[in-house]
Chain A
Amino acid sequence: MDLKEKLVSSFLAFENRVDVDSPIHDIRSEAIKTFETVGFPTKKEEAWKYTSLKSILKEDYSVFPKQENALDYKDIKKYFIHDIDTYNIVFIDGKYSSHLSQTTHDKIDVCLMSSALNKPKYKAIIENHFNKIATKDSLTSLNTAFSDEGAYIHIPKGKLAEKPIQIIHFSTGNESALMLQPRNLIVVDENAHVQIIERHQSLTDNPVLTNSVTEIFADKRAIVDYYKIQNDNSNASLIDNTFINQKDDSHCLVHTFSFGGKLIRNNLNFYQNGEHIDSTMKGITIIGDKQHVDHNTLVHHIEPNCESHQDYKGIFGDSSTGVFNGKVVVEKEAQKTNAFQANNNILVSDKATINTKPQLEIFADDVKCSHGCTIGQLDESAMFYMRSRGIPKKEAKALLMYAFSNNVLSSVKIPELKQRITKIIANKLGVNIGFDL
């Protein structure tokens, strides 16, 4: 039985343990039908031209883990940003771990999707937001069909999440292969503010496939600051589908740090439903071996006077491959749009590949849109300059790559997180850079 068949038949088992009478279940049933009809995307589709899921779909994933697994905090502490106080929503093999989590209902809700989907007090918010901006493509539909657990965050009007929120998914390797489908909903009301750090971490080399969907609603003047740390084991793959709806004067900033994993596909979508909106996407990708990272972004400029900024840097070694596909749509009404997109790449190996493709669809006539892609090797004159000052080749190379990705780090607003990312990068580049840039 292939994975698609397995998933479709698992849906029946899934129905046995969820409330099939809830309105959510109609959405799920609809979604599994879509998935059944469409199936997994293949390279024949334009949006998947450079990313093949074949190698990861052949595993015999367990869709529902048999048992609940526990982890000791001391063994996994290093995956947390632990030097600051944070809210934590932690899952082990897809199941919520109350032991490792720190949630709250004090003024703000930082809790579980399963409670939000089932408890009457969340009904209105769920009805107004759940699956409202998630697209109906196959992978998102697949997640919707099985949507049951994940993070639920609601920051009411004028409130501020005083601590960053960490959403961490661990997989223990107790299953020989595991598929996870977390579903997150983040609702940030008018003038509210939240910082979120998301991480997926496999603890063994057993294959893991995560197909995650996150819907984020930023109301007027809301500020959402989202960080994705993708530094997983070499057999863990991630398909991240994130949808962000923004209203007037809201600011949303998503950083994606892709340093590890077998295959990563980021589908990051911004919809600007209001004026004076700022949407910012930043990414650093540093990979090697046969790793594959694909950034697929969309910014939909719908109303006038908005901005979007995209800045993705990639460093590709060994036989790794990268994809950047950045689509910007500017509707006819969206006059005075400023849309910037940059994708700069360094290939440090002859066998590494990057496919970069900006896609601009502009229907308004008074806009500023720019895009630039570069693919290059390390700047030889800079190398000679550094070496002439006594910095050996390897260190000079690392310092240059570090410097190259540095401007993406400058917008990270949590200093401890920035420090952590700095360390991961220095580690990845195999040098001890004796200072913080």
Chain B
Amino acid sequence: MARFVVTRLALALAVALAVSIIAFLLLRLSGDVATALAGEGAQQADIEAVRKIYGLDRPVIVQYGEWLWRVMSGDFGTSLYFKTDVASLVLSKLPTTLVLGLSSLVFSLLIAIPLGIIAALYRNSLIDRLALGLAVIGQALPNFFFALLLIMVFSITLRWLPVSGSGTWKHFVMPTIALGYYAAPAFMRLIRAGMIEVLSADYVRTARAKGLPARLVIFKHALRNAIVPVVALTAVQLGFLLGGSVVIETIFALDGLGYLAYQSIANKDFPVMQVVVLLLSLVYVGLTLMADIANAWLDPRIRVA
């Protein structure tokens, strides 16, 4: 088990490193960083001054190596755009993203679990097809489009919710729905499949034969077993939701990590972008690693796979 954990940990770190290299290179492929920092209309002298001030005149590999060395020694650098410490800037935005990610996860489970159970109980019925339809729409509808539809209905037409900002709980309602709805279908399909499998298992038949109420059979005996794989998926989906918040936070002007990522890309603020990408990839990789370890602990066959 220890060897498995160490191997997975090394693999996770390699993935995070590869992601940071790709992000570093992609930012440079989209145009000269010094020109972007100097801004539209800057004179060549301005651009050259910026290039020198920020050390952008050195080879890319040297710039990356220096950045990596600093990060490893705990120095995340200074934002080129906001001129503040990157670590504190990122940390200040983290709570908003965590609130959004967790609330979206809860919302997504709240719609996925009942729909998954109902779809399994009434397999191949109209209600099953309706649930399947909802899942297909959830997967097919881009979350930015869904977000704009929500704004149209709840903010412009009904005036129930504020369009943007993060001042009150009301500001989180539409972003939570837009982000959570997109994640729900995966949970729903897994619960439906799991429930169908356990509902035909011998112990469920036995429970029914004993005359237990349907509610007890479904929630106590069937769901508890069907939901095990969902736990692993939850960890992965949370990583996905945190990463997916870039678009949603930008649309709703939520001052979180996703919006910071958008700003850092737009402003070529590579110290911030690198740390955001590294953090999000570490969170994603970390959550996936936890899911792997949990699965391996539960099922010894996985450890040798």
A, B in one complex: no
Chain A interfacial positions (CB closer than 8 Å to B): none
